[in-house]
Amino acid sequence: MDTIKLFPSKKKESSSNESELSLVAFSQFTRSQLQAGTVALIGAGPGDAELLTIKALSYLQQADVVLYDYLVSDDIMALIPNSTILVCVGKKAGHHSVPQHKTNQLLVDFATQGYKVARIKGGDPFIFGRGGEELEVLADAGIQFEVIPGITSAAGATAYAGIPLTHRDYAQSALFITGHLKSEEDQMDWTTLARGHQTLVIYMGLMKSSHIQEQLIKHGRSTSTPLAIIERGTQKQQKVLLGQLSDLSTLAQQAQSPSLIVVGEVVQLAKKLSWFQTENQITKQTQKVAV
């Protein structure tokens, strides 16, 4: 009979002084400096402040000016020093939005004036975040910049909803698309998007949910395909609506932005793999204890 070999002994405990020295060395090793006249394009991740990278947090605390979007959570904004100049350049349906050209110009102006500039976006700035467009403007203006990636919402929100993007039994690929499209100018390859045994993650798709549902079914996706809408993924207010593809347009009316639409067989694992406690679940548990 096979036996389990003895595990290696634990690492020798360090003294408090050694631990403090290790932390100082780590801080010095990882602490990049945001230079004056430079723009740091930062991915904030989907909302949970603990998902920020160390470099993202460091640059947010070094910046003189932070230009931010509506998708950056309050918990992350609270990590920025009070002395920092905050400029909201978000875009939101039905609300006053800052035009993209204005945002581009603000980045150029602040950097030209010698400020340390952080441009923070929800998720990852290179995945449906217009990060590339903004950096092109900076490059044309001769302004130095850095990119600090973030956890994209598709990976973060699905993980917190208990939905693996790929699974050997259910999905051999995952596709990310934007639902921010015009029906009359739709050039999406719906035949490819409607294939089975793959996970389709749709950003900004609530307003076009009826069109998306119609096209997927029309091009072969079964009406009974498992579906999830994840609202405010990874945050305490996270809300997950589960159903089938035939329910998409109806469920979309119960959700608010920011939300992700997830279509695919992997969604059936959501209840089994659910692990994240939302604000609503914590409240219910507290009420039970009180009783």
Domain range annotation of the chain = 33-148, 153-269
Indicate the CATH number of 153-269 among 3.30.950.10, 3.40.50.300, 3.40.50.620, 3.90.1150.10: 3.30.950.10
* pLDDT computed for residue 13 by the predictor: 57
Phi and psi, residue 220, nearest 5°: 115, -10
Determine the pLDDT at residue 291: 46
The β-bridge partners of 72 are none
**Residue 121 has what pLDDT?**
97
Contact 271, 242 (CB under 8 A): yes
C-alpha distances in Å from residue 170, one per residue of 29, 37, 98, 173, 275: 42, 49, 41, 9, 20
Residue 29: what pLDDT?
58
Return the CA Rg of the chain. Answer: 22
What is the distance between the terminal CA atoms of the chain, rounded to a whole angstrom?
52
Confidence at residue 55, expressed as pLDDT on a 0 to 100 scale: 95
* Secondary structure in 3-state letters for 9-48: CCCCCCCHHHHHHHHHHHHHHHCCCCCCCCEEEEECECCC
Supply the pLDDT for residue 180.
78
pLDDT, position 289: 45
pLDDT along the chain (291 residues), means of 10: 55 55 56 94 97 96 96 96 95 72 97 98 96 97 98 97 97 94 77 97 96 97 98 96 98 96 98 89 50 46
The topology under which CATH files domain 33-148 is Cobalt-precorrin-4 Transmethylase; domain 1 (3.40.1010)
Long-range Cβ pairs for the range 99-104 (8 Å, 24+)? 100/130, 100/133, 103/67, 103/134, 104/133, 104/134, 104/137
Contact indicator for 139, 87 with CB cutoff of 8 Å: no
CA dist., res. 257 & res. 20, Å (int): 43
Q: Which residues of 1-32 are buried (b: 16+ CB within 10 A; e: fewer)?
A: eeeeeeeeeeeeeeeeeeeeeeeeeeeeeeee
The length of the chain, given as a count of residues: 291
pLDDT of residue 97: 78
So which residues are the catalytic ones? 69, 91
